[in-house]
Amino acid sequence: MSSGIRRRSVLSAAALGSAVGSLGLSAPASAQPVLGAGPSTAAPPAEDGYDLWLRYRQVEDSGQLERYRAALGTLVRQGGGPLQQSAEDELARGLTGLLGTPVVPRATAPSGAALVVGTPTSSALIRELVPAADLAELGDEGYVIRRVTKRGRDRTGVAAHADRGVLYGAFHLLRLVQTRQPLEHLDLTERPAAPLRVADHWDNADGSIERGYAGRSFFDWEKLPRLDDRYTDYARVLASIGINGAVINNVNTPADYLAEPFLTKLAALAGVLRRYGVTLYVTANFAAPIDLDGLDTADPFDPGVRGWWTKKAEEIYGKIEDFGGFLVKANSEGRPGPLDYGRTHADGANLLAGALRPYGGIVMWRAFVHDGDEKWDRQAYLDFTPLDGKFADNAVVQIKNGPIDFQVREPAHPLFGSLPRTNSMIELQVTQEYTGHATHLCYLVPQWKEVLDFDTLKAGEGSTVARVVTGRVHSYPHSGFAGVMNFGDARNWTGSHLAAANTHGYGRLSWNPELSAQDLAAEWTRMTFGNDPHVVTTVSALLLDSWRTYEDYTSPLGTGYLTHPPDGSVTEHFDPSPTTTVREGGPDLASQRLRRPGGGPGTGLTGFRRARTVGDTPAITRRMAPVRPRGIARACAAAGASPPRTRSWRPTSRIHR
């Protein structure tokens, strides 16, 4: 397709355009300091992005600063384990920067106001401030933040049933101060919507990252088990947005991660993550028994294979006692799996689940099955719905947000709500594989919200995707979120400074999918760039308009499907070309329609309808014609530039054949 303009020239400027040029977004990516060390009392002249949203600059308003100092200037913690220590460290670091005065933790309460953190088990002060009944229903990750006045003394309490909740509460309190919220009548209760909130990394042992646009992997397997400060900073960042798990290797993985020397390296990394409540997971290659120990089969029904996985689990847990389990991509894009032996996806998942069960581990089994384009939009539905109820109770089916592959426009995946007896979780792509890499601004939270808020109607009205993947439609013991991460070794972690808004938004939505895109955009902007109203309004507007704008100038009405570079391959997924979809044998997405539940393979399917006739074409092309120029104009306006001269986008005749 020839458009008269290359999209690299459109929003690469808009993403970091003149509208935000005063924010200092152009600093280089180089060294690796400790995140948040030595907080400044003012914004640095050139922010390099390393601190992400954990920027603890001194409160500017003198009156507000005094109120914060009076309430939070004294930090008290009594007892607790390593997670409470991490909470104390973060509060001391953050409040020292925000208040502009040293905050030194202590174990005894002063006569005046104080911030008190802990659990009823570890702290007598917490028992006095927050009744145990108020924490009983919050689980190990929920918390209460409350302002209490007793005997004339003001106390701000961060209380939880378990230490992990204390850590999450500490980050929440810091977020309130970063966004300049009043604390005088503070009384809030939080608990996560889902138990699994996982960061998936598609990182390879050689340092490359599949679909990575922020440099190379920061997991340095040559140096591990020797640790780097960046690992601690990574764990802090995850904990700050409520992420409690990390898969550290690519879904297209070799078997090497399940053997030495990797196990020793993984154990060292797990030790860092553990201090911030992050559980380590590993992607497992289904053919590992063959690749590592020379078995002649990986058949899940073979006794030797079952014994191999049992021994392997024992070996791993001997090194990492809180190991989370495995992520598996099987029988998709050439990966090995149980179908190679005439078995089912449930058979394969249950093989690994059985080996992990004695240790409390789980297996996350991806529902992305793509070995041909003809049934790509429905293959997962056809493969997995007959298996409902056949997966082990510690196996979770991990389902992409849509039935294709993280496109800029897709309907909700038809598997959501179609597996009432099978644990389910949603997979979102934080890295921008199909949405502009690190070159284009595309804030994906509005897209994710559209999917999460979609009502599947599978168990009646209100059966939204969000309620499905948080176990509120069907009582799943395991459910939640997986996000394919956009982190690399770039100085600012995400390549583009504004891409970090997607990372923040993913974590916050995984904790609470009811949050709005508007509130999350404003929150990230305030935490990252400060609370100046003009900055908050400008950056939030750029973020919130970017997804629709990106769709308009690359894939009007969602017709782009695959994107590719000029050489015609589909490996880079960057430039738009609907014609490639047809040439590769895929569906005619120029005339696709989204249908509501009622048709297709199974009741309530939401998917792509292939309209092969050309009768619909004129109306569709007329509607698409002005869309792309409109998107280009909006992108250029955001960058303060004039739109280039270009003809209207029209699909070529090939797309209708």
Q: What is the DSSP string of 318-386?
A: HH-TT--EEEE--SSTT---GGGGT--HHHHHHHHHHHHGGGT-EEEEE----S-STTTTTHHHHHHGG
* DSSP β-ladder status, 153-159 and 187-190: unpaired
Rounded Cα–Cα distance for residues 477 and 195 (Å) = 9
Give the pLDDT confidence of 267-286 residue by residue, as tens digits.
999 999 999 999 999 999 99
Question: Please, which residues have CB within 8 angstroms of residue 144's CB and are 6 or more apart in sequence?
Answer: 130, 134, 135, 138, 157, 158, 159, 160, 169, 187, 188, 189, 190
Give the pLDDT confidence of 562-594 residue by residue, as tens digits.
556 555 555 678 876 655 554 443 333 333 333
- pLDDT of 569 reads 56
Dihedral pair phi/psi, residue 396, rounded to 5°: -125, 130
- What value, to the nearest 5°, has the Cα angle with vertex 9 and ends 3 and 15? 130
Q: How confident is the model at residue 485 (pLDDT cuts 50, 70, 90)?
A: very high
Give the pLDDT confidence of 367-398 residue by residue, as tens digits.
999 887 778 889 999 999 999 999 999 999 99
Rounded Cα–Cα distance for residues 553 and 15 (Å) = 14
Task: List the single range of 277-281, 530-534, 568-572, 636-640 with lowest mean pLDDT.
Answer: 568-572
- pLDDT of 417 reads 96
- pLDDT of 1 reads 30
Beta carbons of 430 and 200 less than 8 angstroms apart: no
Active site residue 140: no
**H helix or E strand, kind and range, residue 118:** strand 114-118
Q: How many CB atoms lie within 10 A of CB 184?
A: 8
Beta carbons of 440 and 12 less than 8 angstroms apart: yes
What is the residue-averaged pLDDT of the chain? Answer: 86
Beta carbons of 169 and 158 less than 8 angstroms apart: yes
Catalytic residue among 134, 302, 393, 405: 405
Mean pLDDT (whole number) for 47-76: 96
Beta carbons of 569 and 543 less than 8 angstroms apart: no
Catalytic residue among 260, 333, 374, 584: 333
Helix (H, G, I), strand (E, B) or coil at 187: strand
- The Cα-based distances of 228 to 33, 43, 135, 206, 485 in angstroms read 10, 26, 36, 18, 20
Dihedral pair phi/psi, residue 38, rounded to 5°: 60, 60
Q: Which amino acid appears at position 100 of this protein?
A: G
Q: How confident is the model at residue 42 (pLDDT cuts 50, 70, 90)?
A: very low
Indicate if the pLDDT at residue 618 is higher than 50: yes
Higher pLDDT, 454 or 627: 454
Tell me which residue of 600, 576, 602, 601 sits closest to 590, measured CA to CA. 576
Q: How confident is the model at residue 657 (pLDDT cuts 50, 70, 90)?
A: very low
- pLDDT of 632 reads 84
Mean pLDDT (whole number) for 447-464: 97
Rounded Cα–Cα distance for residues 385 and 366 (Å) = 14
Active site residue 551: no
Rounded Cα–Cα distance for residues 192 and 504 (Å) = 15
Catalytic residue among 203, 299, 410, 433: 433
Per-residue tokens: 455 = 């009502």
Active site residue 405: yes
Percent of the chain having pLDDT more than 70?
82
